[in-house]
Structure 1
């Protein structure tokens, strides 16, 4: 039973005294103009205002009821708030719901759970809004147990007819990892809207189940922009940028215009695939739509241009940004490093510090990569030390990997080995793989075998490491050891990842693999290559057949080397691109030494800039030189 409010007016004098002995004079102004009326922050201040209203004869309806609920919700004065609601004569549910919403959206969502229990304990009438706000708190807390309690209450109260509430429950189960429960609920729903479908699609995408998400997408009776964007982002996340772009083109065909979230997802796909033409279209569209005011869009534009080999365009976006985040600076530093502009990368870091932007762990990955690509050993050591001493950043496995790569590339293999053994965290296969890569560059078979023993234990099914070791043996003419490695690969069911290079012309991506003769222009490509061989040999080109792992005749090795995927892609580009236009090639593996030497000479012969993005970095060939300065 709710008790009647006690008479307070009899206790009120012409002036009220606060707990600090100060007098609170009753203002002659109307109650709505008093300072405390809408600004009380505690129960004591609420009671003071309450007394004022009674003394002045103003109705209690002047009190902001949602604020009353807020200050009393989790205090012993809960019943006091209920008595106020009763005297005002308004439903208390909406006031408590407002409080629940604020708690659920705050940094302390568990307060919403506590208030929920308080409401049930005092028999407050609950509605669909009450349940939805508590469920929102459960999602933030990943609190499945309370989520199930609310679900049961929804059924008990007969609120399952509410589609909005059903969607919230669906989202709760999926977000808390109970995707099977979410699917069961989804299948039982008598009605669904686009939010229902989008909820399932986005949660499946987050779990990496892109196939199920796509099936649902195709079954949807209606799709909105959020549906398309979720699928585009999903395919990018699972490493299928080409499919993401296909989905985007379909979206455009049905007449939907991309928003900022869509643009960010498509730019990520363009970056992964190297689709510069579409990336430029997105940039132009973003400019016209005002999206380039969004720092996330600009950061993705920088990333896209860098990964497509357009460093200057990335710089232009960076310089044009009104606001830059640490992501913006880090992306440019990494991009400059990947393109061989190491001095500029280090200078940009200094400018970043001067502007007051604090670097993060990603920034230092870029800096250490820059040092590694150019063999700046002392600078790399200094940056690694400054991470902790100047910026309190604890080095991660990536930073240790960069240091091992730096030392190994520079030929300090013993130091790199000792560095690994002194690491405070357990080295992974990538760490030992970096040492193995340095052994290949410096032809150290003994250290390579040490590194390979660790790689063999940590990542026994990665074919790349076996290929590197086989290459080391091959270059040393140790054919029996080469054969042993190949036999071991066969026993383990491992197949060599073949070199694959792609080039985009007129919006179409053309892919080539080593020795590929299936392309419609294969005969023309072979003819053109033979034509180019004449000036190549005149400039001193001699095929580097040491990259061939097999023991075969020299002329067969040469023919094998001539069929490398990046050479096929380059010749195809020379045939089909306008004169003097830059040829941009993307390779899934490290560019080989022979192709690197040939491309330097060809850039001078054909008077073109050739940009090759391999697994590790960019090589910009121009006028007979490469941006990597032959250190890669």
Structure 2
């Protein structure tokens, strides 16, 4: 080979290293013009290698086919190029062709062929190649080849074979150790990966950046904080956090996913030059653990560092805004997305934007983004459906679900769970059954999330037998499965079945959660099972969740009150640190049931003193108390203040209380005026309340007026006839009541 050919070979190597395809093509043309290619296997091989490494496989193949003489280097260049580009089958075809042409493969050829087997998961071919390598005794001392064999076995799922090779040759290079550790992690065997990492450390083999990154990811996924801290220490000893920002990012991510956000922030703050990934992993960690305000603070820090957010950053920030209902911040991010033109190009960002607007209760804007999307995916449709359901637009959710299928999208588990919730909310049993039939044709029939939603839907629709049947067929139950069934029985007052279900749940080893206990307190209240209630109370205390969850506390107060155990109800009430309006109402209702009106009135005053505001239910309880005690002035005063001072719009139940209050006090003109001026339709309960007052005060004229109005609403209402009969009886007109009955 002359000097010119040597020069071109050297220049081609430089082009290969720099991926400079254009310059490589110029050198190729120069070699052809000068007639240097004919019979020159070295120059031909260098050209094949350059084209292959630069991704121009067609050109590499053309040069290779034109070569009159080929050697193992030529074949390796082509086979390696195909393998590097992910064309495993083409690489293996040339590997076989090479041997047909009596060119003997070397260690590099076998490494390339093994990579090809790895790409297409051709375990059988890989094993045959390994047999040839063993026969030629090429493995001993060849770290690259050992690593290729281990990698092939690992990625083809033959972990035991990979471990056999690893244990037999005991490689001392970091690459083989990293390969097998990464393989175990990839296939979920974190315990074995940790064991190998420890062994590697004991043997004094220093991990590289890839090793640290992989093992830290495993710690994050397994929530193994103790191990993550140990690995962090090793990485810090080798200055890997300074040498490779990817290792530092893996440390931040590990701490963030394990909930050690203080440590994650500490590592982040010590970075000399954090990159976009550094910011993203910290922001994601804050959002995942509910610290959305901190995530937005990191975003400001990011902008000050002049680092432009990418799609991952923006999606996380939108989630943070949605979680905190920060509409204005979300709108600013939306404006930035529009400025950089990301909305039309990134479906993930568009989905996050829809979700943010939905959570901020601007469903019209979410729908607008959805309609304008060019490339919707299943998440887009599901996000829209979730938004509809969360805001009570259940019919719209079901229409959206139908359109999704018409457009050729297959619902996922979350989609099915949401539409089943919509069916339950509106008692659409038939629609729910149709969706159940659709589920049976899919691969999601045993998905716990979906089946739990099915149980809940059937229970809410009153089909408790079907709910029980679905529950019985579920292979992998969780606490939510039990809760859905128990809640269904409670809703339909099947208290004994709910109690049996709770017993079975505990027998099967499931620990009840706050929702379970809240349901069971309703069961105990429903049929006066105070002994079971006391057992529930003791379990709640044992698990330490009474003070953490106001729903349980409210349930226990309600349960004790319904069982007539007012001192116990007060004891629970007094111990609860966070008193919600629902808790106050349960406490007041309990005492009101037993005529403890003074305590109810005092409780309202105390509630307001502590900064609480009564709601619609609280006002109903209070007005009932004033009515029973005949405190007309107090009742009128609170009725007038409801809307102005407490933001509670009077409803039919409040008007009924006031009619009762006026009636008991004998103020019939005021009661009748209130009925006539009501902003909504009168019902029989209100008219019968008024009729009862007329009987007590022997007001035949207004009683007859109320009775006749009641007949217009329901001509066969028994309560109205009884009330009118009693009114006539009060006037000693028993002879006329025969015509009425």
Equivalence map 1:340-489=2 (5 Å) = 340-389=493-542, 391-395=543-547, 396-413=549-566, 415=567, 418-419=570-571, 422-439=574-591, 441-454=593-606, 459-460=612-613, 462-474=615-627, 482-489=635-642
1:528-586 deviations in Å (ceiling 9; x for gaps): x9xxxxxxxxxxxx99923889978334444666788xx89xx9xxxxxxxxxxxxxxx
Q: How far apart in 1 are the matches of 2:637 and 2:336?
A: 55
What SS does the corresponding residue of 1:200 show, helix, strand or coil?
helix
Flag the 1:314–1:95 CA change in 2: closer, same or farther, 3 A: same
Flag the 1:393–1:225 CA change in 2: closer, same or farther, 3 A: same
Q: How far apart in 1 are the matches of 2:271 and 2:623?
A: 70
Q: How far apart in 1 are the matches of 2:692 and 2:415?
A: 45
- For structure 1, the residue ranges without an aligned partner over 5 or more in a row are 1-26, 51-62, 83-91, 500-513, 516-521, 530-541, 572-591, 599-632
Match of 2:211 among 67, 75, 79: 67
User: Which residue pairs with 2:122 in the alignment?
Assistant: none
Equivalence map 1:7-46=2 (5 Å) = 31=143, 32=146, 33=166, 34-35=169-170, 37-38=176-177, 39=181, 41=197, 45=201
Deviation at residue 147 of structure 1 after TM alignment? 4.3
Deviation at residue 293 of structure 1 after TM alignment? 0.8
2:231 counterpart of 1:78: no
User: Which residue pairs with 1:168 in the alignment?
Assistant: 312
What SS does the corresponding residue of 2:651 show, helix, strand or coil?
coil
User: Which residue pairs with 1:554 in the alignment?
Assistant: 703
Residue 550 of structure 2 contacts residue 576 of structure 2 at CA under 8 Å; is this kept in 1?
A: no
Stretch deviating more after TM superposition (98-107 or 355-364) = 98-107
1:450-490 deviations in Å (ceiling 9; x for gaps): 34434555554523332333344446666666544433436
User: Which residue pairs with 2:429 in the alignment?
Assistant: 276
- For structure 2, the residue ranges without an aligned partner over 5 or more in a row are 1-138, 147-165, 182-195, 215-230, 322-328, 654-674, 724-741
Q: How far apart in 2 are the matches of 1:150 and 1:112?
A: 16
Q: How far apart in 2 are the matches of 1:220 and 1:80?
A: 41
Match of 1:184 among 323, 330, 335: 335
Structure of greater Rg = 2
Flag the 1:555–1:301 CA change in 2: closer, same or farther, 3 A: farther
Q: How far apart in 1 are the matches of 2:704 and 2:596?
A: 28
Residue 109 of structure 1 contacts residue 140 of structure 1 at CA under 8 Å; is this kept in 2?
A: no
Match of 2:388 among 222, 226, 235: 235
1:179-211 deviations in Å (ceiling 9; x for gaps): 244123112122432222112112233344434
Equivalence map 1:158-307=2 (5 Å) = 166-177=310-321, 178-192=329-343, 193=345, 194-307=347-460
Residue 544 of structure 1 contacts residue 593 of structure 1 at CA under 8 Å; is this kept in 2?
A: no
Stretch deviating more after TM superposition (466-475 or 340-349) = 466-475
What SS does the corresponding residue of 1:258 show, helix, strand or coil?
coil
Equivalence map 1:503-542=2 (5 Å) = none
What SS does the corresponding residue of 2:434 show, helix, strand or coil?
helix
What SS does the corresponding residue of 2:237 show, helix, strand or coil?
coil
User: Which residue pairs with 2:482 in the alignment?
Assistant: 329
Residue 548 of structure 1 contacts residue 561 of structure 1 at CA under 8 Å; is this kept in 2?
A: no
Q: How far apart in 2 are the matches of 1:293 and 1:354?
A: 23
Residue 448 of structure 1 contacts residue 469 of structure 1 at CA under 8 Å; is this kept in 2?
A: yes
Q: Highest relative contact order (Cα 8 Å, sep 6+), 1 or 2? A: 1
User: Which residue pairs with 2:492 in the alignment?
Assistant: 339
Flag the 1:427–1:291 CA change in 2: closer, same or farther, 3 A: same
Flag the 1:560–1:30 CA change in 2: closer, same or farther, 3 A: farther
Match of 2:650 among 496, 499, 520: 496
Deviation at residue 319 of structure 1 after TM alignment? 0.8
Residue 581 of structure 2 contacts residue 615 of structure 2 at CA under 8 Å; is this kept in 1?
A: no
Flag the 1:469–1:95 CA change in 2: closer, same or farther, 3 A: closer
Q: How far apart in 1 are the matches of 2:651 and 2:525?
A: 25
Q: State the number of aligned residues.
A: 478
Structure (1/2) with the larger strand percentage: 1
User: Which residue pairs with 2:7 in the alignment?
Assistant: none
Deviation at residue 316 of structure 1 after TM alignment? 1.1
User: Which residue pairs with 2:97 in the alignment?
Assistant: none
Flag the 1:563–1:348 CA change in 2: closer, same or farther, 3 A: farther
Deviation at residue 434 of structure 1 after TM alignment? 1.7
TM-score, L = length of structure 1: 0.62
Residue 354 of structure 2 contacts residue 369 of structure 2 at CA under 8 Å; is this kept in 1?
A: yes
User: Which residue pairs with 1:320 in the alignment?
Assistant: 473
Flag the 1:229–1:29 CA change in 2: closer, same or farther, 3 A: same
Q: How far apart in 1 are the matches of 2:263 and 2:276?
A: 19
Q: How far apart in 2 are the matches of 1:80 and 1:95?
A: 6
What SS does the corresponding residue of 1:366 show, helix, strand or coil?
helix
1:99-141 deviations in Å (ceiling 9; x for gaps): 88777766668887777778856xxxx9877776676556557
Equivalence map 1:92-111=2 (5 Å) = none
What SS does the corresponding residue of 1:322 show, helix, strand or coil?
coil
User: Which residue pairs with 2:56 in the alignment?
Assistant: none
Q: How far apart in 1 are the matches of 2:424 and 2:300?
A: 42
User: Which residue pairs with 1:602 in the alignment?
Assistant: none
1:57-93 deviations in Å (ceiling 9; x for gaps): xxxxxx98611666688323236996xxxxxxxxx88
User: Which residue pairs with 1:88 in the alignment?
Assistant: none
Flag the 1:459–1:48 CA change in 2: closer, same or farther, 3 A: closer
Residue 338 of structure 1 contacts residue 370 of structure 1 at CA under 8 Å; is this kept in 2?
A: no
